[in-house]
A and B are shown apart, each in its own frame.
Chain A
Amino acid sequence: MASLIDRVSRKAREECVPLGLHLDLTWRCNERCIHCYLDHDDAAELSLDEIRGLLNQCADAGVFFLTLSGGEIFLRRDLRAIVAHARERGFDIKLKTNAILITEADTAWIRDYGVHRVQISIYSHRAETHDAITKVPGSLARSLAAIRMLRDSGVHVAIACVLMRPNFRDFSGVRTLAAELGAEFTIDPTITPHLNGDRSILGLNIGRDELASLFRDETLVGDAAAFCAPPPPVDADVLDGVPCSAGHTSCYISPHGDVYPCVQFPLSCGNVRQTPFMEIWRHSARLREVRAIRARDLSICSSCGHVGTCSRCPGLAFMEGSMYGPSAADCEKTFIRTGIPTGNMRRNAEGRSQPAGPLVQIGLAGSQHRTQRGFE
C-alpha cells in the first residue's frame, strides 16, 4: 500500500496535481486548548456555496485526499451538507474534530457518506489532565462518548495525542485507551508557533530527555537502532530531492479562502475568493518558488550530512526566518535522534550568526506529510 501511495504521489508531483488538501472550515472552537496556534475569530468564513464551488474546483484539479478540519468543524451547521458534497465529488474524506458535539444521528451520516476516518484529539486518559488542556470541564467524557458512538456505527476513528509537558506521562495511557476503543493512535510532539507570531506556546514542548525516550521507543518508531542511526552519505539524488509535499502535491486553505503550501507553512499564495483555485495552484509565484526549491538550494542544510534524513519542515523554517534556511527545531530533533550535531548547530557553535529564530521548539514529524510509524 505504501508503495502504491508513493507511486500515486510521484505521478501527482510530475503532473503538478494537488493530490491532498487540508481545508479548515472554521477557526471557531468550543475548546480553548493551551497549545492552539489559531485565532478563534469567525470573520468572513467561506459560505456553504463558496465551499461547494471550491470543492468542485478542487475535484476538477485532481484533489483526492481531503481533510476537513478547524477550529471545531461541528460548529458549522452546514457540515453535513459540506461532507455530502465532498462525497458527491469523490474525495477521500477525513474529519478532524474534538468530537464533543457529535451525536448519534451524526455518526449515521458520517458512516453513510463513507468518511474514511475521523481523527479526534485526546490529550490524556485522565479527565483532570485532558480537561485542563482543553479548558472545558467534561470534555474528555464527551469526546470518549462520541468515539464509542462512532465505533459502534462502524466509523474508523483515530485518536491523535499532541504531546507536551502537561501530558507527556499520559501518552501510554492514551495508547491503551485507543486500543480498548478500537481506534488508531498517533502522537505528535510538535507545538507550532501561534499564527499571530506569538512563540510563547513553544514553551509547552517536551524536553530533550523526553523526546529522546520517544525516539527510542520501539512501539513508536519500529527498529530504534535504524531510526536513530547516523545518516548515510549524501549523494546527488538527495541534493536533487524536494523537502516535502507542501506546495508540490498538497496545500492548505484557511476558512477565509487563503491558500498556503501547508497548514504549518503560512506563506500566503492567493485567495480563492479573488482567484480560482487552479490559477493559484498553477501560477502563484510563491508556490512556484516553493516548488523550485531542491535540497541543494538550502542555504545551510545543503552542506549538512543530515540533509537526506532530517525531518526539516520548510514551514517551520519559514516561520523561523527563511524557507531556504534550517529549522532550528528540526535540527534539535535530528540531534536528539542521532546524537550528531547538524551543520546549523556546528555553525552556531562556531559563533556565526544564526539566520533563523531562537532555538525554542523541540518536536517530531514537523508536517502531516512526513508521517513516521506511530507519529503524525
Chain B
Amino acid sequence: MRNAYPVRAPNLASRVLNGEAIIMNPADSTLFTLNETATVIWLAADGTRTLREIVETEVCTQFEVDPETAILEAEEFAASLAGHSILRFAAGTKGQE
C-alpha cells in the first residue's frame, strides 16, 4: 500500500479546525475526525503522490517521527479510511499492496 497513490473520495464534506480534519460521508452520514498527523496525509492525498512520498515529504518533515513507524501507521490509517470508502487509490498506481 505504501507505493499506492491515495486520493480523497469525491463529494465528501470536510473542514480543518485547528489542524484537525472533520469529514462527513453523506452517503451514510458517518462523521470522522482526524488527528493532526492524519490530517496532513488526508490533505495531501490528491492522487499525485504515493503514500510513501506523502509520509516522507509531509509527515516526517512536520512531526518528529521515525520514518518506518510513520509509514506503517500511515498504511493502517489509509486502509481504515479506504474501508469506509472515503479514501481511494488512484488508477495506474504502482500497485495496491
Contact = CB atoms under 8 A, between A and B. Distances in A.
Interface in A219-268: none
A69 to B, nearest CB: 17
Interface residues of B, number: 17
B15 A93 contact: no
Main secondary structure of the interface of B (DSSP, over half): strand
Contacts of B33: 4, 7-8
Interface stretch (A11-19, A120-128, A170-178, A313-321): A11-19
A43 interface: no
Contacts of A90: 12-15
Contact of A114 (B12, B15, B17, B20): B12
B38 to A, nearest CB: 15
B11 interface: yes
A15 B17 contact: yes
Contacts of B30: 1
B12 A12 contact: no
B10 interface: yes
Sort chain A's interface into a size bin.
Answer: 20 to 34
Interface of B: 10-15, 17-18, 20, 22, 24, 26-27, 29-31, 33
A59 interface: yes
B49 to A, nearest CB: 20
Interface in A35-58: none
Contacts of B17: 8, 11-12, 15, 17, 62, 64
A194 interface: no
Contacts of B26: 92-93, 114-117, 156
Nearest to A93: B13
